[in-house]
A = this chain, B = another copy of it.
Amino acid sequence: MSATAAETRPGDLAGEVRAVALRARAAASELALAAPERKSKALAAMAAAIRAAKAEILAANARDMAGASGLAPALRDRLALDAARIEAMAKGLDEIAAMPDPVGRSLGEWTRPNGLRIVRLSVPLGVVAVIYESRPNVTADAGALCLRAGNAAILRGGSESVQSSGAILAALRRGLREAGLPEDAIQRVPVQDRAAVGHLLALDDLIDVVIPRGGRALIERVAAESRIPVIKHLDGNCHTYVDGAATLEMARRIVVNAKMRRTGICGATETLLVDRRVAKTHLPPILADLAAAGCELRGDAATQALDPRVKPASDGDWDTEYLDAIIAVKQVEGVEEAIRHINRHGSHHTEAIVTEDQAAADRFLAAIDAGIVIHNSSTQFADGGEFGMGAEIGISTGKLHARGPVGAEQLTSYKYVVRGSGQVRP
């Protein structure tokens, strides 16, 4: 695993990417030993540098927007920056600066009968690569969360945001320099050449983890190609189950929020399951609320019979993350069928039950195999900020290492520190 010096020839993209990773490795060794206050200072300086560079960032963004005139409106909206979005980015950095440091915490301590003292101590992961798509603010969020956890970050954003991300990155690096931390703690690899990602994913001797953040195609490419461990954020095919013991008022409030508050986020409910016992009383007003909010309704035969606006759901609907104002509705025989349906069709992201029956709630919370399970609240709360974890870099649908929101704490590992007084093993 030794890191030999890079010899970069001009036009040698693989060598260029490797050189970035070698510099990240060196920066990570320094960051691992940096005091919490110094990292906080750097994060605050990064926030100040973002604010000071507002004009440059806006000018760079204008160039990106001019080059992206062919993009769909939703994608253009993701790409666009204005003064408020830049201030939000800076505020995010200030919040990360104020967070408790996740490194150097004791995760457990004990003494063995032979006198050996063992501490399990949180440490940084090392070098984290983040591969993302069009939103330029990910540059700041991902770089800052990695720094909080003592990791060096290698960023690879979408080509359409190359100017904006470059201007943000320059500001972050000014902040690092001012705080006396290595600028190479946050770097990026060439954005224009798609092959750069492939070179990055081969560097399992230098990079500790890859986090893809974007659409399914990106994440599946990274998972298939990477020799480095991946923290995956796949689909959020989330369900809300309205149990027979749900009050109508609470069910209405939660369902319309879970589906329609924002339809494009991964915690949005995509399928509504309703206990057949209350379908006649609860479903018509819920369907009316959804339709009034502009939601397309698709449902099984029993649900279609309740409301003429409900179109037939196909088998594929139960497995679809719409990320849009569409909902699939199905009637089930109580909590057990709801659990079976969700464990079969869900994506292990976020699943909710609405009920006043504590036993049904406990059964649901225990039996559902998902990162987040919710009783009597909205699936839209699936968010690191809403969980009180500060910023997040995504929501993991995998079970290893990190599950649910991935914040600074999830970007750490641990080591065992053993202190003895000459013990040898018999």
Contacts and interface: CB of A to CB of B under 8 A. Distances in A.
A418 interface: yes
A370 interface: yes
A414 B253 CA distance: 29
Contacts of A366: 33
Contact of A422 (B208, B250, B386, B413): B250
In this complex, the interface size class of chain A, counting residues with CB under 8 Å from chain B, is 35 or more
B112 A419 contact: no
A399 interface: yes
Closest 9 CB pairs of A and B: A377-B420, A257-B424, A401-B401, A399-B413, A380-B425, A400-B401, A374-B418, A376-B420, A250-B422
A70 interface: no
A344 B110 CA distance: 30
Tell me the number of copies of this protein.
2
Interface in A94-149: 110, 112, 116, 118, 125-126
Contact of A418 (B231, B258, B372, B421): B372
A418 B375 contact: yes
Interface of A is mostly: mixed
6 contacts: A1-B348, A116-B386, A372-B416, A376-B420, A377-B421, A380-B424
A371 interface: yes
Interface string A25-44: 00001001100000000000
A175 interface: no
Contact of A424 (B112, B377, B404, B416): B377
